[in-house]
Amino acid sequence: MAFDLEALVGHLYVVGGRPINVNPPGASVVVAPPTAARGREGDTFFTLIVPSGTIAPTSFYEQLAVLAAERYFSMSGSVTIALRAVFQVLNRNLHEHNEEHSEFEQQQFEASIIIAVLHGDDLYVGRVGPVMSVLQTVGLTLTFPDDPSDKEQFFSTPLGILPEPEVSMVRYGVNAGTRFALADANLADFAVAQLTSFLLENDIEKVLDALREAHKVQGQLMLVELVPPEAESPVMTAPGESTAEVNAKLAEARQIVDREGLQSNNRRRGKLGAVLRWGLSRLALRCAAGFGRLSRLFQRFLPLPEPGRERGSAAGTVTLAGLLIPLVLAGVVVLSWVSHIGATEFEQCLSRLQQTANLASSMDTADRRNVTSAWNAALQVADVCETMREGDPAIAAVRQEAQDVVDRLNNVKRRYAAALTNFENAEITRLRLNGTDMYALDDANQLVYRIKISDNGTEVMRQEPVPNMRRGATVDGLSIGRIVDIAFDDVSNELALIDENGTLVRCLPQFIMICNAQRVLGVDQWRQPLALTVWGRRLYVLDNEGDQIWRYDPSGATYPSAPREYFSGEARPNLRNVVDFTISLDGNVYLLYNDGVMKKYNAGVEKTFLFSGFNEGSELHETMTEGFYLNDSPFSPAFFLISRGARAVFETTTAGTFMDSYQAIAPDKFELLSAVVAYPIHDIVYVASGNSIFLLNKFADE
């Protein structure tokens, strides 16, 4: 859906109460270069980097912005994965610099950063440090973080201070007419109602003027308005630019458009799918009819600009709707200020919600994609309404109807995710299950927990850290470094751990204090070990940067020999984006990539494997994956795959055919999905999300 929306961009830079007629040094807008990775071709990347602590030279922030864009467009996979990688790279560079120079008391560098990515009809926003965004679309004003007045939520740690950045992200559905701003902490001084009045100005130039006048002392801000490609761009106040111009320079395909394709695209926009693509702007037009008298009354006392002075004319009813909506809603907002009536805001939201639901209900259910989009729009409006009146039965009824329809169309089974256990300040990245013994790798604290589960799989009998499986522990005279992974050896009935230095530690579950350690050979050949699997007592270490799986053969109770390469010859697979791997009982190696692709090998030779049976739009390559578990026992053999973006667990046959997908009734529980295992005897699936482990029953929704 590349180039369905373009961006008009303006900047605000106020220093000491004086507007500076240049872009803020850390502000950047980059469209996808010709060399962009797969999946990035149509994206637009917006960055704002602001000083934190000691102010560095201007070039410092400019170079960070360039590095951020280069890193993003070089990565394939989901937008959230790429964004997180950008934050980690920038933070690592700053943190390493600060650590190296701290002992010499040289200058330390910190920065706060906010990034937005326009990906089709979605806008992803990520932030680190005290920065924020505000978005206005179809009468709704949304800030990120949700409550900038909450100092604990707003003032997160900037880049360069911690080894790992404190990243928070959000995703919005956007359409023509959507406006958003990326800003420093000074924007948090304004109330949401005041920000709404700024963003509802007639055009982007007037929005910038209002913001410039409001920032009395200091401020850095990037303002963006999304428009259809055919819309006329207004004359911008300097500094300003349009990505339409940038696209013309960078993408030759934008200059030589095939006529038939263009005509087909225009016809497509005239259909119902196009109306939904622009989101709720069409629905807000219906609301406008109900507010007509109110707006005329308001205009009599405080005349609004004529429609002819709006942002510019564009063909079609959709664009006309986008021009009229801000006019009507501005009247409602200002009248609410004057009369101090806050209750009607909820009533208006509830009316929009009902109209959205009515439109979705009237659609042909055979059009699965558009029906899903319509009900998802209703869920978005319900979220906004619920912030005004939590627990309202009318909202709950629409939400339930919308969720039921979306789940049914997407073959989703919604289950109650019960908290099995959680750990303080932890980040669980691996789960291993052996009978009723579960082992969890806490990557944040670099240690392993043992969790004893009841026979029915629903309760924790006891849990404890494994003393000899933590960073810094010494076993047989060897100190454990950064832990790579853990695995269970079914032959010797031992839990194994490998660290980045090749230290192998093995412990007996029944005597968890009895462990032995050795340093395996050939570690100098490793480039970036990622995962460990034990099969037939052999060790297999996945090195995704080295595009290799290193195999260690046992001799007695040790591994005395150098590793052998699993992939031989010149035609080796690219393992850079592999997130996990496993080996089945019959010796097949399965590699899972972050874009949802699974590859199967036997004796180093690739075998055919494809996922099938997924609904259009719900395929794994659309949702992305973070990990998987293979149950190839006689009890319900299957793959279980987790997708953080979809907040779902997918179940397929061992041949890759879709069976079911599971989501939590409270979706936020699956927001940080990182690992999954299954207990097939009782049809239980365990997932790790953040510092918690949840269980869900495949056949029970309570």
Q: Give me the amino acid identity at 138.
A: V
Band (52; pLDDT cuts 50, 70, 90): confident
Task: Determine the pLDDT at residue 541.
Answer: 98
Look at residue 561 in the predicted model and tell me its pLDDT.
Answer: 95
Q: pTM for the whole thing?
A: 0.54
pLDDT score, position 238: 39
Pairing mode, strands 564-565 and 548-552: antiparallel
- Sign of the alpha-carbon torsion through 652, 658, 663, 668: positive
CA–CA dist 663, 701 (Å, integer)? 10
| CA atoms within a 13 Å half-sphere pointing along the CA-CB vector of 657 | 3
Query: Any idea which of 20-24, 48-52, 228-232, 527-531 has the lowest mean pLDDT?
Result: 228-232
Q: Are 118 and 159 in contact (CB under 8 A)?
A: no
Asked if pLDDT for residue 341 goes beyond 80, the answer is no
Tell me which H or E stretch contains 660: strand 658-664
Average confidence (pLDDT) over 275-303: 43
pLDDT of residue 280: 43
The residue ranking higher by pLDDT, 20 or 232, is 20
Mean pLDDT calculated for residue range 477-506: 95
pLDDT of residue 102: 63
What pLDDT does residue 236 have?
45
| ∠ CA 563-565-568, rounded to 5° | 160
Q: Quick check: bond before 680 cis, omega within 30? A: no
Mean pLDDT (whole number) for 567-578: 86
Length of the chain: 702
Three-state DSSP state, 486:
strand
User: 6 has which bridge partners?
Assistant: 227
> Do 6-341 and 414-697 agree at the fold level?
no
Res 278 pLDDT > 70? no
Name the residue type at position 697. N
Considering the chain, what is the average pLDDT of its residues? Answer: 81
Q: Express as a percent the part of the chain with pLDDT over 70.
A: 81
The per-residue pLDDT for range 54-106, each reduced to its tens digit, is: 777 888 888 899 999 999 998 877 888 889 989 988 988 888 878 776 654 55
Banded model confidence at residue 368, pLDDT cuts 50, 70, 90: confident
**211 alpha-carbon distance from chain centroid:** 30
- Whether residue 702 has pLDDT greater than 80: no
Neighbours of 59 (CB within 10 A): 9
Q: Which long-range contacts (CB under 8 A, 24 or more apart) does 663-668 make?
A: 663/407, 663/412, 663/413, 663/414, 663/415, 664/414, 664/415, 664/416, 664/417, 664/694, 664/696, 665/414, 665/415, 665/416, 665/417, 665/701, 666/417
Confidence grade of residue 1 (pLDDT, cut at 50, 70, 90) = very low
Percent of the chain with pLDDT over 90: 42
Q: What is the rounded distance in angstroms from the CA atom of residue 276 to the CA atom of residue 370?
A: 7
Q: List all residues 6 or more positions away from 488 whose beta carbon is below 8 Å from its beta carbon.
A: 432, 434, 439, 494, 495, 496, 534
Q: Predicted confidence band at 230 (pLDDT cuts at 50, 70, 90)?
A: low
Cis peptide before 303 (omega within 30 of 0): no
Task: Give which of 285, 395, 322 is closest to 174, Cα–Cα.
Answer: 322
Specify the higher pLDDT residue, 116 or 357.
116
Residue 234 scores a pLDDT above 60: no
Mean pLDDT of 328-355: 60
Q: Give CB contacts under 8 A, 24+ apart, made by 364-367.
A: 365/409, 367/272, 367/273
Q: What is the token pair recorded at 189?
A: 């001084």
Q: In what order do the strands lie in the sheet with 110-119?
A: 27-31, 44-52, 110-119, 122-128, 168-173
Mean pLDDT computed over 275-299? 42
* Mean pLDDT within 413-424: 93
CATH architecture designation of domain 6-341: 4-Layer Sandwich (3.60)
Q: Which residue has the tokens 């913001």?
A: 211
Task: Say whether pLDDT at 256 is over 50.
Answer: no
pLDDT band of residue 270 (cuts 50, 70, 90) is very low
Q: What is the mean pLDDT of residues 317-327?
A: 43
Q: pLDDT by residue (tens digit) across 497-541?
A: 999 999 999 999 878 888 999 999 999 999 999 999 999 999 999
**CA–CA distance, 394 with 636 (Å, rounded to integer):** 41
Please give the helix or strand (H or E) that residue 245 lies within, else none.
helix 243-250
pLDDT tens per residue, range 379-403: 888 888 888 888 888 898 998 888 8
Q: Which of 671, 666, 672 is nearest to 696 (CA)?
A: 666
Residue extents of the structural domains in the chain: 6-341, 414-697
**CA torsion through residues 8, 13, 17, 19, sign:** negative
Cα separation of 391 and 382, whole Å?
A: 11
Match domain 414-697 to its CATH number in 1.10.10.10, 2.40.50.140, 2.130.10.10, 3.40.50.300: 2.130.10.10
Helix (H) or strand (E) holding 122: strand 122-128
